[in-house]
Amino acid sequence: MNKNKSFTLIELLVVIVIIGILAGVIMISTSSSIDKANIAKIKVFEESVQNNLAANMVSAWDADHVTKGTTWTLNDKWGNNNGTFYNGTGIVCSSTSGSEACPQITQDKIMENVLSFENGYIDLGNNKSLHEKSFTIAFWIKQFDNSIRGIISKQYLPTNGEGWRLFQNAYNIEFDGYGEIGNLTVLNNIGNWVHISAVFNHNEKKMDLYKNGVLGSSKSDVIINNSNDKPLLLGYASNYFFKGSMNNIKLYNTALSSSQVKQNYIAGLNSMLANGNMSKQEYNERLEFLSLN
């Protein structure tokens, strides 16, 4: 008599395990394909933003384009406005005289290579594109404390009414100048990366300050007399040095619209996500906040 054969419990468990493994491999493969497709879309978006704003971009600087030779130089990866590193006493940083007082290139888990400041600054030269014209300067920043600090300035000289400055004061960032220009403040987050865009519209005599793509403050009837012979300084303003990190600084010779500022910010988020330096949760949270404001 033939007996009916059946699977043993162990055989059934082995089959279930194999099916589970195969299902997991398929899910991971599918998820990986979806992630790659999303990253591809992100890169296409970034390129479209770059093309949209490229006509008005004057300069772009980041920590990946630094030469530490006879003179430490921040190379302009878009234009020709290279910057020179100086320590806190105004001495040019070089391979022989560089010290911890000079701006440094450090590693950050979100931004990777970044420009870190303590007591030094970077002289970006006499940028004539800022002479009594509209401009936008956008950058990522992480403050280390809430002390009074200079961030960026076009040689702010209140004695003769020239220039402008981005200035850290307590938990605010101020974008101001001389005469009719009042302080424009936007709440910042100590220890966290935020994106700041300072926009001056020469024709409308208006000054706007954005944080993470959202308008934080605005002022009308603004006049800025940007003298041609004054340099653009990074990490210094009004005798105060910045203490913190900066990266991806971009200069435009036009007043970007609110939608363009938002695009610029999103492009930065996309880059961090695509490089695996930002979690999807934080990325989605930032986009959600942006959509609600």
pLDDT computed for residue 34 by the predictor: 47
Q: How do residues 72-131 score in pLDDT, each as one tens digit?
A: 999 999 988 999 999 988 889 987 765 668 999 999 988 899 999 988 999 998 876 666
14 in a structural domain: no
Asked whether residue 230 is assigned to any structural domain, the reply reads yes
Host domain of residue 111: 49-291
- The reply to whether 21 falls in a domain is no
Please indicate, yes or no, if residue 37 is contained in any of the structural domains: no
> Which residue did the predictor score with more confidence, 95 or 60?
60
Cβ partners under 8 Å of residue 239, min gap 6: 150
Amino acid 41: pLDDT: 47
Using pLDDT thresholds of 50, 70 and 90, give the confidence band for residue 52: low
Residue 3 lies in a domain: no
**pLDDT tens digit string along 262-291?**
988 988 888 888 888 888 888 889 988 888
Task: Tell me what percent of the residues of the chain surpass a pLDDT of 70.
Answer: 74
Report how far Cα 92 is from the mean position of its chain's Cα atoms.
Answer: 25
Question: What's the pLDDT band for 4 if we cut at 50, 70, 90?
Answer: low
* Structural domain count, the chain: 1
Q: With both helix axes pointing from N to C terminus, report the angle between 280-291 and 258-274 in degrees, rounded to the nearest 10.
A: 170
Question: Is 20 contained in some domain?
Answer: no
pLDDT tens readout for residues 195-236: 999 999 988 988 899 999 999 888 888 777 665 577 889 999
Q: Taking 60 as the threshold, does the pLDDT of residue 28 lie above it?
A: no
Domain CATH number, residue 96: 2.60.120.200
Given a cut of 60, whether residue 256 has pLDDT beyond it is: yes
This prediction's pTM: 0.81
Sort strands 232-234 and 214-219 into parallel, antiparallel or unpaired: unpaired
The answer to whether position 58 is within a domain reads yes
Q: Note the pLDDT of residue 158.
A: 57
Q: Which range among 32-46, 61-75, 110-124, 239-253 shows the weakest confidence by mean pLDDT?
A: 32-46
DSSP, collapsed to helix, strand or coil, labels residue 282 as: helix
Q: What angle do CA 32, 36, 39 make, to 5 degrees?
A: 140
115: helix, coil or strand?
strand
pLDDT tens-place string over residues 147-187: 889 999 887 665 555 678 898 887 788 887 654 456 677 87
Considering the domain boundaries, does residue 13 fall inside one?
no
Buried b (16+ CB within 10 A) or exposed e, 132-161: ebbbbbbbbbbbeeeeebbbbbbbbbeeee
42, 54, 56, 200 from 51: Cα distances, Å: 14, 5, 10, 22
